[in-house]
Structure 1
Amino acid sequence: MKNINNKITLRQFILLIHGVQMGVGVLTLPRELAEKAGTDGWMVIIISWFLATMASLIIIQIMKKYPNGTILDLLTHYFGKWIGRVATITFALYFALLAHVVFIREALFIQAWILPRTEVYILILLLSIPSYQIARKNIVILGRYSEFVFFMTLWTFIIYLIPLKYAQWLHLLPVLKEGWVPILTTLKTAIFSFIGFEIVFFLYPFLQKKEKASMGVVIANTLSLLAFLMITIGAFAFYSPDEITIYNEPAIEMLKVLEFKFIERLEIVFFSFYLFVMSTTVLPFMFMTVFCTSQLVGKQDHSRHLAWFLLIEFAFVVLFPPNFDRNTFLQQVIEQVGMILAFAFPLCLWGYVWVHGLLKRRTIK
């Protein structure tokens, strides 16, 4: 995996991070924010962006201490072999759970919106085939795929400007109608939408121009911020404050007002294209999972691990048929773990690395 040819460009670096953040959460985010913070929920997104960007920059500062290795190599270097193995297992389980949650949610959305009579395990089987073909190679393939999907689906966000002719912007007023308490208590919900930037721990050694990594993470988080704000504010203005909480996926429902002579249900076309966007979330998580497991057993080729992961996913769905309630519960679990690994862990590790470097310089003197 550390072949010199496995180098990604700055644009691929940016779009890989942005892609993992633009998962299924954006479809339900306006409703979740409205339920807890009302129409002031859009401010939670800005605060979450700031926190995610700061955490991303901290990760970059950590990785500068060991630029030619991933976080697994860095932890092994500073803390020893066994801590490195524990970290490998932890990250493997974390990314596996993230991949599982998004993969199952993707299949559930397809069943709910496009193929209601198709069993979820059939959809998982069908999704597994292209997933294996894309994620079994190296990180460069994933980077190119993220680039392709970003430009191919860019129009899906522009189309959200059309329903705004029915918007009532007075729904957003007054600002801070209930104070800061609802906004701060909703912060965890919005932060989960930015979860995914921690893949920088693994992308950094493959970046061609590492000196631009900080700029890259800021751009990636800002792209996600703009997308979340556009959809959320649009939904808040389109629906009344009470009406928006009725719909499970208001980001799709609001497109039902759009009709053309040659197509009636534009939201289905939109969702079909948005499946590619969701794939840019689940595929990097799958890749990171099998990357960790292959590193654990000392293998460079992770394709066999990926095949086993997809087989386990299929078997799990057959034995335990999923639904939205179970998937939401797992999402809440991973939210707690994500807060630790994406925010608390980098901060603590950065502090240790900084103190370690300071003491080392004093010892040399």
Structure 2
Amino acid sequence: MNDKLKRISLLEFIFLIHGAQMGIGILQLPRELAEKAGTDGWIAIIFGWLLSTAMSLVIVQMMRFYPDGTLIDLIERYFGKWAAKIGALVFAAAYAFLTATVFFRAILFIKAFILPRTADSLLFLLFAIPTYLILRNNLRVLGRYSVFVFLMLLWMPFFYLFALKDSHWLYLLPVIKEGWWPILKAVPNTATSFIGFEMTFLLYPFLEKKQTASAGVIVANTLTMLVYVAITVICFAFFSPDGILDTNEPTLSILKVIEFHFMERLEIVFLAFYLFIVSTTWMPYLYWSVYCTNRLFGLKESSNVPLAVFLLSVFVLLLFYHPTFNENDKWQKLNSYANYFIAYAFPICLWGYLLVRRAIRGRAST
């Protein structure tokens, strides 16, 4: 933990969390919210932001019980070595499965919009090689990569402003037209879209100034919320309430109407750049899957053997298995169930246990 190369700044801490949240969910989120709450679905994003921010602060408070260790160290301290092994196994498997899901989704989008005749395994190599080169280094390199991608692609959301000239804001009125219940039903969709804040479990001990962790998670969640709300509202104003239900990825489809004299098929260019953002999702999860695997088998934290094995296994799998959008949708649902437990249920239960344990020890000492 004292290795300075593993320490990350507040900026890197923020964008590691924000990057983990900005995966593939934003491409489908407007349609999913419209299915549950109509054009009032954007309000559910604010509730999701409040929930994820509250849980992030809970995780920060919990990690203060053992500030110099990750979640695995915290479990080992309070529950024993075997409990830590089980925790490492669960996190390693869950994060590896989530990484594979994001990998396959990215490949499906590339084949659908850019390179339809390219083999899945070859496309995966385009992801695997830079992923290995970045993740084989320390956490600081990954943090700087997340900051670099954010700054490099800061211009992307502003392209949606060109769609405002063809938008109809009357689609959004009246607000809360069907009451609060449809909005509340859409909150679980937004709650999963904010998944990534639980990365605080593993990033906290590496943060240089731990007293800034609370501010960091609030800023990270707020950045994600602002992007989600802005793009969702623009999609709701552009598509009719019925039309958006027939569009699988409205975030991409809306770009088809934006034309420049020097550029055609803007959605293809946008998707190509968006893959950098998606990489800031799979890389942190894969990094921590490798970290937990090393802890599980007693390897050095710097060992890259699990990373190489995972990438090679996925490459071999794609030689024989060709995922489809429907199959990947099922994988995403399985991930959402696992994420509910890891990001919401588990922190509350663990924090409650730690508070009760402290209260009991306090009474015993008096």
**TM-score range for the pair, normalised by the shorter chain length:** over 0.9
Which deviates more, 178-187 or 31-40? 178-187
CA distance in 2, matches of 1:316, 1:199: 28
Partner residue, 1:349: 350
Partner residue, 2:25: 25
| 3-state secondary structure, aligned to 1:321 | coil
| 3-state secondary structure, aligned to 1:208 | coil
Partner residue, 1:40: 40
CA distance in 2, matches of 1:281, 1:2: 26
Partner residue, 1:310: 311
Partner residue, 1:127: 127
Partner residue, 1:3: 3
Partner residue, 1:200: 200
Runs of 5+ unmatched residues, structure 2: none
Partner residue, 2:221: 221
How does 1:325-344 map onto structure 2 within 5 Å? 325-344=326-345
Report the CA distance between 1:10 and its aligned residue.
0.2
Q: What one-letter code is carried by the residue in structure 2 that aligns with 1:206?
A: F
8 Å contact from structure 1 (residues 45, 190) kept in 2: yes
RMSD over aligned CA atoms reads: 1.1
Q: What one-letter code is carried by the residue in structure 1 that aligns with 2:277?
A: V
Report the CA distance between 1:318 and its aligned residue.
2.2
Which deviates more, 42-51 or 187-196? 187-196
Report the CA distance between 1:244 and its aligned residue.
0.9
Partner residue, 1:322: 323
Partner residue, 1:145: 145
Partner residue, 1:93: 93
Q: What one-letter code is carried by the residue in structure 1 that aligns with 2:304?
A: S
Q: What one-letter code is carried by the residue in structure 2 that aligns with 1:302?
A: S
CA distance in 1, matches of 2:41, 2:70: 36
| 3-state secondary structure, aligned to 2:174 | coil
Q: What one-letter code is carried by the residue in structure 2 that aligns with 1:162?
A: F
Partner residue, 1:12: 12
CA distance in 2, matches of 1:220, 1:302: 29
Q: What one-letter code is carried by the residue in structure 2 that aligns with 1:260?
A: F
Q: What one-letter code is carried by the residue in structure 1 that aligns with 2:78?
A: Y
Q: What one-letter code is carried by the residue in structure 2 that aligns with 1:161?
A: L
CA distance in 2, matches of 1:122, 1:323: 16
CA distance in 2, matches of 1:267, 1:330: 25
Q: What one-letter code is carried by the residue in structure 1 that aligns with 2:337?
A: Q
Report the CA distance between 1:110 and its aligned residue.
1.0
Report the CA distance between 1:95 and its aligned residue.
0.6
Partner deviation per Cα, 1:10-62 (whole Å, 9 max, x = no partner): 00000000000000110111111112211111011111111101111000001
CA distance in 1, matches of 2:225, 2:147: 18
How does 1:187-266 map onto structure 2 within 5 Å? 187-266=187-266
CA distance in 1, matches of 2:121, 2:174: 47
CA distance in 2, matches of 1:229, 1:257: 21
Aligned length in residues: 365
Report the CA distance between 1:139 and its aligned residue.
0.9
CA distance in 1, matches of 2:137, 2:206: 14
8 Å contact from structure 1 (residues 107, 124) kept in 2: yes
CA distance in 2, matches of 1:100, 1:179: 39
TM value normalised by structure 2 = 0.97
8 Å contact from structure 2 (residues 5, 139) kept in 1: no
Report the CA distance between 1:4 and its aligned residue.
3.5
8 Å contact from structure 1 (residues 33, 189) kept in 2: yes
CA distance in 2, matches of 1:20, 1:5: 21
Partner deviation per Cα, 1:155-208 (whole Å, 9 max, x = no partner): 001111111121111101111222222222222222111011111100000000
8 Å contact from structure 1 (residues 204, 213) kept in 2: yes
Partner residue, 1:161: 161
8 Å contact from structure 1 (residues 137, 303) kept in 2: no
Q: What one-letter code is carried by the residue in structure 2 that aligns with 1:328?
A: D
CA distance in 1, matches of 2:184, 2:122: 41
Report the CA distance between 1:319 and its aligned residue.
2.5
Partner deviation per Cα, 1:201-253 (whole Å, 9 max, x = no partner): 00000000000100000000000000000110000001100111111111111
CA distance in 1, matches of 2:68, 2:314: 33
CA distance in 2, matches of 1:264, 1:115: 16
CA distance in 2, matches of 1:317, 1:44: 37
Query: Taking every aligned residue pair, what percent have the same amino acid on both sides?
Result: 50
Report the CA distance between 1:2 and its aligned residue.
5.7
8 Å contact from structure 1 (residues 56, 200) kept in 2: yes
| 3-state secondary structure, aligned to 1:5 | helix
CA distance in 2, matches of 1:181, 1:363: 46
